[in-house]
Homo-oligomer: A and B are copies of this chain.
Amino acid sequence: MRLTSYTNYALRTLMFAALDAPALVRVQDVAEAHGISRTHLVKCVHHLGQWGYLENVRGRGGGFRLARPAEAITVGEIVRRTEEGFAETPVDPAATAADRRLDASFETAQAAFLAVLDRRTIRDITFNDDELRAALGLSGPAA
């Protein structure tokens, strides 16, 4: 059950933007940092812009930055957009009851998968709060 490279690029891009916020990030910075092809990243940045997660600034000295705070973007919502297979499959009238039970099992499993990722924000995974949290007597990563 592999996640796509596209999902990986999207999350890395958002994490990079979160780290450098509010400074603009250039596609080539992310490409070099992660050894990812610029072509793939340009497409990814474009989609993230269309979906409202990044704002793109064109031209010389341009780049992109988060359009929403890192704590307001969940990993789950990004994965829903970047991974295929999350859309409800149309009900096949020829499906047997067993087919439907199998599909229902996978839908439930997938919902559990996404529920975990809905509780992680870009901020949670980008920033090291561990020491701060320990000093404050809080346990584990931010839920």
Interface pair A125/B102, CB less than 8 Å apart: yes
**Interface residue tally for chain A (C-beta within 8 Å):** 36
Given A98-B126, A105-B120, A110-B113, 18 additional A-B pairs, CB 8 A: A1-B1, A1-B83, A1-B86, A1-B113, A3-B85, A75-B105, A98-B125, A101-B141, A104-B141, A105-B117, A105-B125, A109-B112, A109-B113, A109-B116, A112-B112, A112-B113, A112-B116, A113-B113
What would be 28 A-B contacts, judged by CB atoms less than 8 Å apart?
Answer: A1-B3, A1-B83, A1-B84, A1-B110, A3-B106, A15-B98, A19-B98, A75-B102, A97-B128, A98-B128, A101-B124, A101-B125, A101-B141, A102-B125, A104-B141, A105-B116, A105-B117, A105-B120, A105-B124, A105-B125, A106-B117, A109-B112, A109-B114, A109-B116, A110-B113, A112-B112, A112-B115, A113-B113
